[in-house]
Structure 1
């Protein structure tokens, strides 16, 4: 969706002033650790996937999204998912305590503390085979489709309608746009380079690399 989360190339938001990477703490407050832990733990319940989780954050009201910090957006998205999937009720969320017993099928999926490190270190594979034909080869000139999806997508607005060059092919992976709707399918994934002058105007002599799924592009 064209929401407040997709800010690449937008004007009027002030200069970017990031903290130096070597000085930036992993967390800026103790509660952020809990927000991350709660999000990962709730994900193990199997009621949603990573792209559904991302879309829950993205579909906030733009003012709320931009007013929140990074982990405030994570926490807001988690609260949305917990209620929408019936894990907690709105009243339980409001009171910050359980009112009804947790269904056994959910408690059975809770991982013991001793298993957490192993689960996190194993990661979550996202490669997936597809029967679709590989349409592009390294060196091909492509054009990004002018898409305006209402759901989750991984194609940023600032490259839509622009031409680029295929620089790498990774194989086939879960297509996030469909995964966010609960449909798990594989799609070819590429790295594409774009000329900064084409994206931002003359005087931007940079090269931008973006990972793009096949469904986002056509041959130029």
Structure 2
């Protein structure tokens, strides 16, 4: 999906600043949002591609004005209300209660058994590699990134669409995000590492830009 999250090649946002000592969570509520997202996705309410797609659908101004975990919170609320797990009006009322009284005691209960369900995911990750047919392309093949990505969620950056590159590496096969985000099946595909000329993409630079792409994002050049 084209949207405010796809910043590749965009100008005017300043340098990306990296703090090697930055904590995992700057505030306690961020830790809770992370845990709730992990819990609700681990029990199968939605998958990681649905989660990403919910963030991508945020209005541009709202997306750019919110922090990373604020976007996670919006995505979780979006998914759970669209699924009918939460009632949108009840959620708004609950938020209003806490805005009026931030120190109000949170009603709830400990569920240690829920942590057991996603502890392995926290420690080892959840792989989306799946078997697929033989790869269509080989190392050294010239390929073109498709010009028109599938509407909705996609992992194909806008800045490479329509450009020609060379396959550097044939990787494994993985769930296709474009369909997984929309309940259209996992449809695993082979993936590739493709090098594009910076001069071709940006009009300057003598280096290559390496992009990992799914097979359906490519066509023979």
Same fold? TM cut 0.5: yes
Q: Which of 38, 45, 48 is 2:46 aligned to?
A: 48
| 1:19 pairs with 2:27 | no
| 1:219 pairs with 2:217 | no
Where does residue 28 of structure 1 map in the other structure?
Answer: 26
Query: Once the two structures are superposed, what CA deviation does each residue of 1:16-49 show, in whole Å capped at 9, x if it has no partner?
Result: 24133x1222222221111111111111221211
The TM-score, its normalising length taken from structure 2, stands at: 0.85
Structure 2: state its 5+ residue gaps: 96-110
Structure 1: state its 5+ residue gaps: 98-108
Q: Specify the SS of the correspondent of 2:140.
A: coil
Deviation at 1:201?
Answer: 1.0
Seen in structure 2, the aligned counterparts of structure 1 residues 199 and 34 have a Cα distance that, compared at 3 Å, is: same
Aligned residues: 205
For the Cα contact (< 8 Å) 2:198–2:209, is it kept in 1? yes
Where does residue 186 of structure 2 map in the other structure?
Answer: 184
Deviation at 1:116?
Answer: 4.3
| 1:123 pairs with 2:135 | no
Where does residue 196 of structure 2 map in the other structure?
Answer: 194
For the Cα contact (< 8 Å) 1:44–1:110, is it kept in 2? no
The TM-score, its normalising length taken from structure 1, stands at: 0.86
Q: Specify the SS of the correspondent of 2:14.
A: coil
For the Cα contact (< 8 Å) 2:144–2:220, is it kept in 1? yes
Deviation at 1:72?
Answer: 0.8
For the Cα contact (< 8 Å) 2:39–2:115, is it kept in 1? no
Seen in structure 2, the aligned counterparts of structure 1 residues 173 and 46 have a Cα distance that, compared at 3 Å, is: same
Deviation at 1:14?
Answer: 3.0
> What is the CA RMSD across the aligned residues, in angstroms?
2.0
Distance 1:217 1:168 in 2: 14
